[in-house]
Amino acid sequence: MTLKVCTNLLILFLVNSVWTRTVRQVYDELDPEHCSYYTSECPRECFCPPSFPNALYCDNKGLTEIPAIPARIWYLYLQNNLIETISEKSFVNATYLRWINLNKNKITNSGIESGVLSKLKRLLYLFLEDNELEEVPSPLPVGLEQLRLARNRISRIPEGVFSNLENLTMLDLHQNSLLDSALQSDTFQGLNNLMQLNIAKNSLKKMPLSIPANTLQLFLDNNSIEVIPENYFSAIPKVTFLRLNYNKLSDDGIPPNGFNVSSILDLQLSHNQLTKIPPINAHLEHLHLDHNRIKSVNGTQICPVSIAIAEDHGFYGNIPRLRYLRLDGNEIQPPIPLDVMICFRLLQAVVI
């Protein structure tokens, strides 16, 4: 009977939950005959759902410290507490941890016991948003895939802190206190598989140095960036989503073909100081230019191919792929010129 109940619980979880590949693999490996064991040894401050035996929910409990974590736990939820420290004694038995959520606590760098994080060899996801960190904690588990450090007080990134994190695919540092001096040429060295880098809402005046070459999404909104260096994006040839909203970019700060990059599909330049639309690539699909100082739009000038080619229905392969164009908050008066519509035949929405 116990075996049947446990099996049904596992099937119900798998059918009704959407998780990462890692989570699904975990439950594929569970042995139903151990189900009764997974429902025991729950810390009294926390909740251990029978249908999710490898998870421990200690969120919103007013905790000031992390309780002793049972060995069976893979997913640990500690957000929205008053925790100030991360000590090794809490994780002596927790050698299988994959996911820790410590968002919205009061953790400082001095409150993290030396080496405690790096000893969590199987940890894949570490969330430390909305704490009181002043620098990126180190050393970190070498197997990390996601590191979220948004909304702290981080102004320093220790040398070599990312050098062994070859599996990291997402690094979120937005809304901290990073200056240009914090991002050296080797800061991101070792992040060979990074796909998303978020440094929005910091205090940058320059484009960051040496972005990992495999980066697909680069978010730099709400800084004070004025200039895009010549050939900047040749070093990140896979960048697809680029956000530079709320900066100080002017026409003079953008090289002639600065954004004429075939990999970029979504380009966001809202709330800058542009007076004209910069040259774009035919592969671009979404362009956000609202709230700049643009006064007019000339389709012949901004079209990434000649208007003659754009008018040729039989040359579909070279037709610009722009589908969404946002121009509101400028000084442009409707209607949109006909040559814009002739060029961008795939446009589905124009906001003006």
254-273 pLDDT, tens per residue? 999 999 999 999 999 999 99
Q: Which residues contact 237 (CB under 8 A, 6 or more apart)?
A: 213, 263
**Nearest-angstrom CA–CA distance, 183 and 162:** 12
Mean pLDDT, range 330-340, rounded to an integer:
90
% helix / strand / coil in the chain, to the nearest 5? Answer: 20, 10, 70
Among 25-39, 220-234, 282-296, 314-328, the minimum mean pLDDT is found in 25-39
pLDDT of residue 317: 61
pLDDT digits (tens, 9 = 90+) for 38-63: 445 899 999 999 999 999 999 999 99
Q: What average pLDDT does the structure give for the chain?
A: 89
pLDDT digits (tens, 9 = 90+) for 88-109: 999 999 999 999 999 999 999 9
Residue 17 clears pLDDT 70, i.e. is over it:
no
Among 51-65, 148-162, 269-283, 295-309, the minimum mean pLDDT is found in 295-309
Instruction: Choose among 132, 142, 141, 201: nearest CA to 172.
Output: 201
Task: Please tell me the pTM assigned to this model.
Answer: 0.86
Q: What angle do CA 77, 78, 81 make, to 5 degrees?
A: 150
Long-range CB contact pairs, 67-72, < 8 A, 24+: 67/43, 68/43, 68/92, 68/93, 69/43, 69/93, 69/94, 69/97, 70/41, 70/42, 70/43, 70/94, 71/95, 71/96, 72/37, 72/38, 72/41, 72/96
